[in-house]
A and B are shown apart, each in its own frame.
Chain A
Amino acid sequence: MSLRQVSLRQILGRIGLWLSVFVIVSPAILFFLWMASLSLKFEIDNAAYPPVFIPENFAWKNYADVLASNRFLTYFVNSLIVTGSATGLAMLVGVPAGYGIARMAAHKSAVVILIARITPGLSYLIPLFLLFQWLGLLGTLVPQIIIHLVVTVPIVIWIMIGYFETTPLELEEAALIDGATRWQVFRHVALPIAKPGLAVAFILAVIFSWNNFVFGIVLAGRETRTLPVAVYNMISFDQLSWGPLAAAALMVTLPVLLLTVFAQRQIVAGLTAGAVKGG
C-alpha cells in the first residue's frame, strides 16, 4: 500500500516537473519557431488574421531573395572579417595577459576590466569616432575591428585569468628550474592545460562580437556594414515584407544559435564564471 502511494507521488512529481520544464522552455522555443514560420511564409500568410502558423506553401524564395539582394554576402564577409580579427587579436594579447595577471596575482588589474564591463559602449564611440575620423580610417573595416576589441579583450582576459588561476603551478615551476624560459613554460606547459578555457574565451568573444550592433551603426558606411547593422537597415527600408526580413534575421543569428546549442557547456561555464557581456 505504502509502496504504491510513494510511486503515485513520484509519478505526480515527475508530471509536475515536466510540466514546469515545458512552461519554462516554451517562450524560447515558441519564439524561434515563430521566427522560422515568419521567414517561410508568403506575404498573404504573414498578413493573415488569425495568424497562419504552418503555411501550406513554404516561401523558400524569401531566403533566396535575401541572399541575392541587399549585398547580404558582402555584409556577411564584413562580419566574418570584423569578428574574426577582433577575436583573433583579443586571443593574441588577452591569453598571455590572463596568464601574466594570474601568475602575478595582480588582482587590482581586474578593476580596469570591471570599468570596461560597466562603461556603456556608446561612451567609447565618441572619442574613438573622432580619432578614426582624424586618422582617416572611416570607410574601412579597421575602426570596427579596433572598437570590437573593447568587447572581446576584456572577455578573453577575464576568462583566462580564471582558468590559469586554477591550473597547477608545480609543473611550471619544475620546467623553470630545468631551464625553460617563461615563454616556453607558457607555450608548452600552461597553454595545453588551459585548452578548455581557450575554447570558452574564443566562443564567447565570437558571439558577443558577432552580435554587436551599436558600434556598427555609428562606424559602418554603406560598404562596411556588418550583418546586424544590415538587418537594422532592412527594417527601415523594406518594412512591408515580413518574410524576407525574418529570413534575414534568422540567417544573421543562426550561427550563434547553433553555437549555443552545440557548445552550451562551454558557454554556460564562461557565463557563470565571468558573467561577461560586451557593449
Chain B
Amino acid sequence: MSVITQASPAEPEAFSATPERTWRPPSYWPFVIPALVVVLAIIIFPWVFTIWMSLHEWKVGSPTVFVGLANYLRLPTDPRFVEAIGHTLFYTALSVVLPLIFGTLAAVVFHQKFAARGFLRGIFIMPMMATPVAIALVWTMMFHPQLGVLNYLLSLVGLPPQLWVFNPTTVIPSLVLVETWQWTPLVMLIVLGGLAAIPTEPYESAQIDGANFWQVFRFITLPLIMPFLFIAGMIRMIDAVKSFDIIFAITQGGPGSASETINLYLYSVAFVYYDIGYGSAIAVVFFLLIVALAALLLYLRKRMLWTSELGDGA
C-alpha cells in the first residue's frame, strides 16, 4: 500500500515517455477521497466531538464547563442507567437465542427444493425489510388487552388473556416476540448460505449408516454450519443491543421504565432532558459495551473451538 501512496498521479504521457519501464499500477486514491471526506464528516467527526462533549457539563442553553470524567463517574450511581443495562442484556440475550433457533430451523426447510421457493423466501424476509414503525403500530394494536387479536388467539387454545406490553413483567418478552418475528429471516439467510456450502459426502455416508434426521442434523449439519451461526449471532447481538424503533414506537420504554434499554435512556437524556454532556458519556460507554460483548462472543467461540479440538484429540 505504501508503494501506491507514493506513486504520484502520473499523466498518461508518463507511460509513453518511458515505454521500456515495467507497467506500474496507478493510484486509486482519487476514487476514495470523496467518500473519505464524507466518512470523516459524518462518522469520524461525530465520534471525536462526542468524546469531547462527554468531558463537559453541557446542557442546551447554559454555558459549557469542563468536568473531566465526572459524567462517566455519574453512570454507576444512576439507577436508571444501571437498570437500563439489565433490560438491555435481558432483551439482547432473548433476541439472539430465539432468532438463532427459529432461523436455523427455517434454513433447513428452505434448503429443500419445493415449488415457488424463491417467492416464499421473498415473503419470509418481508418482516425484516418492512418499515419498523409501521410494523410496530400494527403490533401495538395486536397487543391490545381487550381488542387485540393476540388475546383472541390465546383464548382459542384455552390460554388466559395477557397484558403483553402493558405489564412490567411481560413487556420485554413481548417486545422480543416482535424482534424475533422481525429478524429470524436474517439468521435464516445467513445459515442458508452456510448450508449451500456443505459438501454432500457426509450426508451420503450417514444415509448408508442409517442415521435418522435428528442424528444427521445434530452430528453433521450443526457442526458444519457453526461458523455461520456464529456470524449470525454476532450480527443479531449488535442489532438487538441497539434496538430502538420497535421499543420506542410500542412502549417508549414503559410501562414506567420496565422496557427502557440503554438506547432509549440515551434518547431521553440527550433529546428530552437535553443533557448533552451526560448523553455523550452514555453514548461512549454504550459503544464500548457493544464492543465488549462482541469481544466476549469471539472469546467464547475461540474457547469452543479449542475444547472441541481437545475432545477430538482425546
Contact = CB atoms under 8 A, between A and B. Distances in A.
* A associates with B: yes
B189 A272 contact: yes
Contacts of B29: 100, 104
Contacts of A12: none
Contacts of A264: 118-119, 121-122, 125
B249 A207 contact: no
Interface stretch (B136-144, B163-171, B199-207, B299-307): B136-144
Interface residues of A, number: 100
A104 B53 CA distance: 36
Interface stretch (A58-66, A69-77, A193-201, A245-253): A245-253
Contacts of B44: 112
Contact of B276 (A126, A213, A249): A126
Interface in B117-153: 118-127, 129-135, 137-138, 140-142, 146-147, 149, 152
Interface string A171-200: 001001101011100100000000000000
B50 interface: yes
A257 interface: yes
A19 to B, nearest CB: 10
A126 B280 contact: yes
Contacts of B30: 100, 182-183
B49 interface: yes
A127 B42 CA distance: 9
User: B interface, how many residues as a size bin?
Assistant: 35 or more
Given A31-B181, A121-B244, A177-B23, A267 B125 contact: yes
B286 interface: yes
A38 B148 CA distance: 11
Interface stretch (B67-75, B89-97, B216-224, B265-273): B265-273
22 contacts: A17-B109, A21-B114, A24-B124, A27-B181, A28-B127, A32-B130, A97-B36, A118-B287, A126-B50, A130-B276, A147-B42, A153-B38, A153-B39, A176-B23, A179-B12, A181-B12, A211-B131, A214-B248, A228-B133, A231-B134, A260-B125, A277-B239
